[in-house]
Amino acid sequence: MPPATTIARTGRFYHHPLLDENALPHVALGDAFPFTHRGGMTLSADQLDSAGFNRSLIHVDVPLDTRDMVWSA
């Protein structure tokens, strides 16, 4: 777990998606959340589509095991 988050610092796995996704790096698949884009909450569905937001009936978070992952920027 990345040490930067408060939940990650507990060192616990909660078996609850809303808590665990904030502690673990993950890939999100499915519906994109408008609040992740500056001004996204004010955009229409057509504007979100134009901005490249994925629209789906589902949103699934897939946690990643990063113990052996090398990060670079």
Question: Tell me: the pLDDT tens digits for 10-56?
Answer: 777 666 666 666 666 778 888 888 988 889 999 999 999 998 998 88
pLDDT confidence of 60, banded at 50, 70, 90? confident
What pLDDT score was predicted for residue 47?
92
Give the list of residues 6+ apart from residue 69 with CB closer than 8 angstroms, or none. none
d(CA 19, CA 9): 12
Specify the pTM: 0.49
Domain spans, the chain: 6-63
